[in-house]
Amino acid sequence: MKPEQFIREKGLDKCGDEFEQHFLSLPFSNSEAAQKCLDACDFDVKQNAFIPNAKWFNNNDVDEGVIYCCMLNTAYMSFLKQQAKVEGLKATIKGNHGRIAELERLNRVKAQAILDLHQEIKELKASHHGEVIGHEVHLKNIKQERDELQTLYTQQGINMFKLQKRVDAVIIEIENMYLSGAIGFDTVKKLEQALKGGGQ
């Protein structure tokens, strides 16, 4: 998801508020440094950027204030990119849950079809023992169908394994993003719950 799409979906006000919370949580040399940056600037929804706060500039060093605004805007753009990645990962996870459920359903259907075919083969052998030629053709077709279904069943298992590897890779990416400070603990917990199949 691109930052522009993230901004449209979240709304500019909410993006600014989320960013301020994120910015205040970053490790600065002292806790007042982050707040000082935010005090020197105001978030302009129309421009989707931090602009100088006139009151602050009247009472403080202008060059310092410009640096704070530049810092905030750089951090804000980085934040938007990371949030867009997080939203993209959430969408991927949500899509994977649907695909996994569908693959599991297909596997159950195919497994039952294989069992039904085995039962049909048994019944055909027992009840039509005398009609060998006609039934051998039918039996051959059934075995061929069984083999095709078995191949499909095996392929579905491979697909589920590949999909699980992708889900595991997403989990690792989320952990890396958390460790780098790109997303918060609450977001990690929500994504973890989503991966486990829980509500979001």
Query: 194 lies in a domain?
Result: no
Separation CA 40–CA 1 (nearest Å): 31
Query: 193 lies in a domain?
Result: no
- Report pLDDT for 150: 92
Q: Is the pLDDT of residue 71 over 50?
A: yes
Q: What percentage of the chain carries pLDDT values higher than 90?
A: 5
Find the domain containing 52 and state its range: 3-187
Separation CA 87–CA 3 (nearest Å): 10
**51-60 pLDDT per residue, tens:** 898 898 888 8
Over range 16-26, report the average pLDDT: 70
pTM of the model: 0.41
Query: 83 lies in a domain?
Result: yes
Query: 24 lies in a domain?
Result: yes
Query: Among the residues of 26-183, which ranges form H helices?
Result: 31-40, 54-59, 62-127, 132-179
Q: Average pLDDT of the chain?
A: 79
Based on its alpha-carbon atoms, the radius of gyration of the chain, rounded to whole angstroms, reads 29
**108-138 pLDDT per residue, tens:** 888 888 888 888 888 877 776 666 667 678 8
The residue to which tokens 């051998």 are assigned: 136
Residues 6+ apart with CB under 8 A from 174: 89, 183, 188, 191, 192
pLDDT category at 3 given cuts 50, 70, 90 is very low
Query: 57 lies in a domain?
Result: yes
Query: 129 lies in a domain?
Result: yes
**89-111 pLDDT per residue, tens:** 888 888 888 888 888 888 888 88
**24-51 pLDDT per residue, tens:** 677 665 667 778 888 888 888 888 888 8
Query: 157 lies in a domain?
Result: yes
Query: 118 lies in a domain?
Result: yes
Among 8-17, 122-131, 165-174, 184-193, the range of highest mean pLDDT: 165-174
Tell the burial category of 1 from Cβ atoms under 10 Å away from its Cβ (0-12, 13-18, 19+).
middle
Burial string for 4-32 (b: 16+ CB within 10 Å, else e) reads eebbeebeeeebbeebbebbeeeeeeeee
| Count of domains for the chain | 1
